[in-house]
Structure 1
Amino acid sequence: MTPESTADGGRLSLLDVYLCNHRPFGEIHGITRFVIEFLYFGIKEARSCLFAGLFFVSIFIVPRTGVFGIPRYDVLLIIALAIQSLMIWSKLETWDEAKAIGLFHVVGFALEVFKTSGSIQSWSYPDFAYTKVLGVPLFSGFMYAAVGSYIIQAWRLFDLRIHHHPSYWMAGLIAIAIYANFFTHHFIGDYRWYIAACALGLYARTTVTYRPYDRDRRMPLLVAFVLIGFFIWLAENISTFFGIWQYPNQIGAWSVVHLGKWSSWSLLVVMTFTIVANLKHIKQKIYVPV
């Protein structure tokens, strides 16, 4: 088995080639099928979360005092760049995927700069770092890029196909409204629930077909948005517990991140998905007639 070429001219690792093209072990039924499909689903999920998982683990292992005199935030940036470089070198990520992840980094970093600015102060990064720009450590953009990385990798590994996708211009408007509301709600009110209602109507008929093993499975796309948002909310709780960043109500003592953040993360997933879907649509390689 040799690495396959992708549509952008890149090459896939032997692991990805196997996960995408493995042959089933004959006819399987009942509990055996459930166990095997669940196992392959877990493997593909873990592979899709590789960048996010490794970066998240680094939050645990890097002490708050830093490493060898290098501040913690700077160490996290070095680790994020090293993980990305390793994934490209090992063909676990193509250059086109890396460019898309870079776009998510920029989008996320811009939001971080606004949210931590003096007049807003939604949260803060209390520790010193040499790689802080406008008060925000550069590694922070990779937290948003991790979400994009997961969606990009899962799309390929699970052979995702989207059915009844709404008009791209309408999906794009919802994504823009979601991103804009993160900024404007400080000045003209929070319209997330109105935007969420629009997204609910827009994607109500949309389903995603995915292949954990050798058979296609289908689920409503909205369910995927909510589930991913929930796991990001859990990761945020762990990150704030370890003091990577802090909300104002966590400065004296840590407390659980407000459950309302789950909705914000789910909307962010909608926006991230829309960017990925439109990038793939531009390359004309994903959608099948429905």
Structure 2
Amino acid sequence: MDKIKKVHDLHDEIRDNVQRALREDIGNGDLTALLIPSDRTLKATVITRENAVLCGTQWFEACFTALAPEITIEWFFKDADRVQVNQILCEITGPARAMLTAERSGLNFLQLLSAVATQTRQFVDAIAGTNTVIVDTRKTLPGLRLAQKYAVTCGGGMNHRVGLYDGILIKENHIIAAGGILPALTHAREIAAPNVFIQIEVETVQQLQEAIAAGATMVLLDNFSLAQLRDAVAWTRQHAGQRIILEASGNITLENVRQVAETGVDRISIGGLTKNIQAVDLSMRFV
């Protein structure tokens, strides 16, 4: 979240996300909500149907208050808290029509972002006790990148670059188009501002050695086997010490993530944290 705050105002992002969500759902008006008397005030609760890590309370709340500022929400948990099945997450009080209109958009944000935080926490817990950190990627839902990257931090993970503008990641196609590892890295150093990191992706230990010889300080080891990762870490620590950040990526699952961490890599990036998501089961019910 700290990195996101440095690049963007998260409050503005929440407002924009919520405005788009409400606009696409409501259109010219909520026809079904007209069944409810306009002066009716009710209370509702949101309950989780499964164990999860809560995330997205600000987005949820903004969906309701955007339609009726007088709506009040009392939270019993905060973002990044672990919640258990059948626990009440919050109580909502206000105009019934506005609450019903905001319900789906609010729950969509809360279910999605809690799912990202929950999945991230599973990976973080799986490598507990190692010196490796879990990081996200740019494989996010269009329009919701900052929200999902915030959710990753609530799950205990760290953010990689936010977008193409705040970091240089030289991948296979960049290397081919630039004419090789050395010219790609050389040009990257020429154009990068002091606060922009430069990372290069390699697919073999030989390419790793070439990249470090060319001055790389941050290397992405793409789709390396466990044996190749161990060889890469051993060679790097012997010849370059701890100054090189090694990141593993590709085909990382909950079943193998600890083995990957135990090879000694500094970071593990996982696109599935934000891409392969099954929403947390939440429900809102009037009291």
Determine if the TM-score, normalized by the shorter chain, exceeds 0.5: no
Larger Rg: 2
Higher RCO structure (Cα 8 Å, ≥6 apart): 2
TM-score (norm 1): 0.26
Point out the structure with the larger strand share: 2
Structure 2 length as normaliser, TM-score?
A: 0.27
